[in-house]
Amino acid sequence: MKPQRSRSRNNKNRNRGGNNQGGNVVNRVFDSSGPEGKVRGTPQQVIEKYNQLARDAMLSNDRVAMENFQQHAEHYLRMLSEAQKEQDAKREEQERQNRERQAERDRERAERQEREAANQAKNAERQQETQPDAQQDEAQPSAEDDSTLVETPESKPKTRRAPRRKKPKAEEGEGQNDGGAKDGGDQPEAAE
């Protein structure tokens, strides 16, 4: 014979909520077996229901039932207050941890900014130290540098040539055969 599925589901449910310690008590739904039957709801709803039953018992002059309902309400009130205290303690602990983390992040950020500022200052000092040396090297080459260097065509300063002038057109007729000597061209004059 196969086991029933509902039994296995009930076992799972029993293991999950067997203790009042498990889960969030403030929002958890309880089944309270009181003298008048079951009362179901969150702790706050159960407290209100038992207080209402206690008022009804008081109006009917049943002091025993009234005390019983008040005790049930007090039980759930204690559970609720303990759960709220635990939640407040957890919240305060989390806030403390968050403050500590934030303070640590702030310290790390300040240290990082100090390191970056120090690095920038060092880089600026290095640039200032190297820039005057480079300017001196460019302005006044040392005697040692002159003795070891060999002058090459690439190292000579280049002189700029004057732009070429256009040759006069053939229609004008003047100076066509003299190679542009009148215009100040680059060609040498012929010897006579």
In order of 97, 155, 173, the CA distances from 146 in angstroms are 69, 12, 55
Alpha-helix runs per DSSP H in 140-167: 143-148
pLDDT in tens, 111-156: 999 999 999 988 888 888 877 655 555 555 555 555 666 777 776 6
Q: What is the DSSP string of 48-99?
A: HHHHHHHHHHHHTT-HHHHHHHHHHHHHHHHHHHHHHHHHHHHHHHHHHHHH
pTM as predicted = 0.43
Residue carrying the six token digits 């799972």: 12
Are 74 and 15 in contact by the 8 Å Cβ rule? The answer is: no
